[in-house]
Amino acid sequence: MSLNQPHYRSIAATLIRRIVLLAGLCLLAMTLLQAGLAYRSSQAQVEHAVTEIADNSLPMLSLSLWDIEPEVIQRQMNWLAGLPEIGRARVLASTGQVFEAGALSSEVGGDTPPTHTLEIVAPQGGKAVGQLQLWVDPSYLYHQILANTLTIAAGYGVFTALLCLVVAWMLRRDLQQPLQQIARFAAELKPQEISRPLVLDRPRSDHLDEIDLVTQGFRQLQGELQSHIANLDGLVAERTQQLEKLIGEVHRLSITDALTGCFNRRVIEERLPSEIERARRYGRPLSVIFADIDHFKTINDTHGHAAGDAVLRDFGTLLLSQLRNQVDWVARYGGEEFLIVLPESDLVHARQAAERLREFVGAQPAVWEGMFIPRTASFGVAQCGPDEGVADLLSRADAMLYHAKNEGRDRVEVSG
């Protein structure tokens, strides 16, 4: 894995991260809004509650003040101070007595003025018998807002967590797992098994989804790849055939003498050693015949090179036609000299073959532009000895040809 390649992070993780971020922002906004609203409503609520409490406790206080029931008044103070909304309660009797209960949590000792002050009138009306002073507990408002806001925040948090869980679960089931299967399948797919179908391990559904589309696309891609590969194979086979044909032609040309249609001298070098080797291995005879057109220089000089070429071509054709097909072969050794290789032939058979060729050449003159050109040929025959190499064999045959030339031409001389 290259250093430049970014780290892997699943879409589900990214999505959940985004949801959490967004939910967090929403939560913050909602909490602030809720806190603001709660502050306003709680303030009004507390104001209302305290006013109501004060109004409700007035008749009782009026009675207990009028009847002079200090314990009842003190109890009333304790009850008032015990209410969550109220931090401190105090009654100042007109006759000088003071009853109070509770202490403000925020109060450090300074006497803050009461938030609510009410006159207590005697039960039968008329004159005031005292004054009720109430201090709203500031921490109550704070706690109220806190409780209110925390409840909303907790609910929202739980909702977000559930949402994330569902998203994570669905993404994992419907997206991550199938995609990973597809990725694994694609990574493991080999060219030779391109047709292996993509099968996903996922619950069956009545509907198609994106994953199904991807799977279908994948199968289509596999099918097209497969047919494309099959076409390529056919094309390669065709071209290979054409090329082999071409190569065969080139090879044939490279071993054929263009003028006479016989093998050229290179074939002798390539093929003769292996022929000798094979004959020796199987204990079979092998003979060679050197053939040379007599007085070819005179023909060339008399009738021109074109006539010489025609004589040469005719001589090659004649040799080829008189040989055993598939077994014997003939190559132009150079100039007007040809080498005939006769596998499976001993010296006797080779001499017969050479005699038959000599007679045939002598009996059929070459024809060139309506003109008969008589010709003869000399032959040197040799059978390959048991340990004889190519050079020695050819040398012995060539010596026989030379001997035949010296003995008057149009004759066959056999070595040994």
Partner 1 sequence: MSAALYRLFLLLMMTLGLLGPAQAVSVTFINPGRSNEAYWVAAASAMAQAARSLDLQLEVKFAERDHLKALEIAASLAARPPAQRPDYVVFSNDYATGPEILRLLNGSGIKGMMAFSGIHGADRRLTGGPREKYDFWLGTLEPRAEDAGYLTAKMLIEKGRRAQLRGSDGLLHVIAIAGDRSTPSSAARNAGLQRALAEASDVVLDQIVYANWSRETALTKSRWLVRRHPDARLIWAGSDQMAFGAMQAWREHADVPGKDVLFSGVNTSTEALKAVRSGELSALAGGHFMAGAWALVMIHDHAKGRDFASSEGVELAVPMFILFTPPLAERFMQRFEGDGKALDFRRYSLVLNPRLSHYDFDVGDLLR
Residues carrying an active site annotation:
336
Residues belonging to the chain: 416
Q: Which is nearer to partner 1, 71 or 233 (CB)?
A: 71
CA dist., res. 333 & res. 293, Å (int): 12
Q: Which is nearer to partner 1, 70 or 389 (CB)?
A: 70
Q: Closest separation between CB of residue 124 and partner 1, Å? A: 10
- In the list 52, 67, 269, 359, the residue contacting partner 1 (rule: CB under 8 A) is 67
For 123, list phi and psi in degrees, rounded to 5: -55, -40
Q: Closest separation between CB of residue 112 and partner 1, Å? A: 28
Q: Which residues lie closer than 8 Å to 194 by C-beta, 6 or more apart? A: 222, 225, 226, 229
- In the list 2, 5, 8, 96, the residue contacting partner 1 (rule: CB under 8 A) is 96
Q: Which is nearer to partner 1, 123 or 261 (CB)?
A: 123
Number of residues that bind partner 1 (CB under 8 A): 10
Nearest-5° angle of CA 211, CA 214, CA 215? 85
Nearest-5° angle of CA 230, CA 236, CA 242? 145
- Report 344-363 residues binding partner 1 (CB under 8 A): none
Q: Which of 415, 391, 392 is nearest to 403 (CA)?
A: 415
Q: Does 93 bind partner 1 (CB under 8 A)?
A: yes
In this structure, the strands spanning 377-383 and 412-414 are parallel
Q: Which is nearer to partner 1, 62 or 415 (CB)?
A: 62
Q: Which is nearer to partner 1, 123 or 385 (CB)?
A: 123
Neighbouring CB atoms inside 10 A of 216's CB total: 12
Classify the C-alpha dihedral 319-322-325-327 as positive or negative: negative
Q: Does 95 bind partner 1 (CB under 8 A)?
A: yes
In this structure, the strands spanning 128-136 and 116-121 are antiparallel
CA dist., res. 116 & res. 119, Å (int): 10
C-beta of residue 291 within 8 angstroms of C-beta of residue 338: yes
- In the list 68, 147, 186, 213, the residue contacting partner 1 (rule: CB under 8 A) is 68
- In the list 31, 45, 78, 94, the residue contacting partner 1 (rule: CB under 8 A) is 94
Stretch near partner 1 under the rule CB under 8 A, chosen from 22-30, 91-99, 110-118, 255-263: 91-99
Q: Does 131 bind partner 1 (CB under 8 A)?
A: no
Q: Closest separation between CB of residue 32 and partner 1, Å? A: 53
- In the list 27, 61, 129, 312, the residue contacting partner 1 (rule: CB under 8 A) is 129
Q: Does 125 bind partner 1 (CB under 8 A)?
A: no
* 47-66 footprint of partner 1 as x/- string (CB under 8 A): -------------------x
Q: Does 70 bind partner 1 (CB under 8 A)?
A: yes
CA dist., res. 161 & res. 169, Å (int): 12
- Report 218-257 residues binding partner 1 (CB under 8 A): none
Q: Which is nearer to partner 1, 93 or 299 (CB)?
A: 93
Q: What is the DSSP string of 77-127?
A: HHHHHHSTTEEEEEEEETTS-EEEE---TT--SS-PPPSEEEEEEPTTSSS
Map residue 413 onto helix, strand or coil: strand
Q: Which is nearer to partner 1, 66 or 156 (CB)?
A: 66
Q: Does 97 bind partner 1 (CB under 8 A)?
A: yes
The residue ranges that bind partner 1 (CB under 8 A) are: 66-68, 70, 93-97, 129
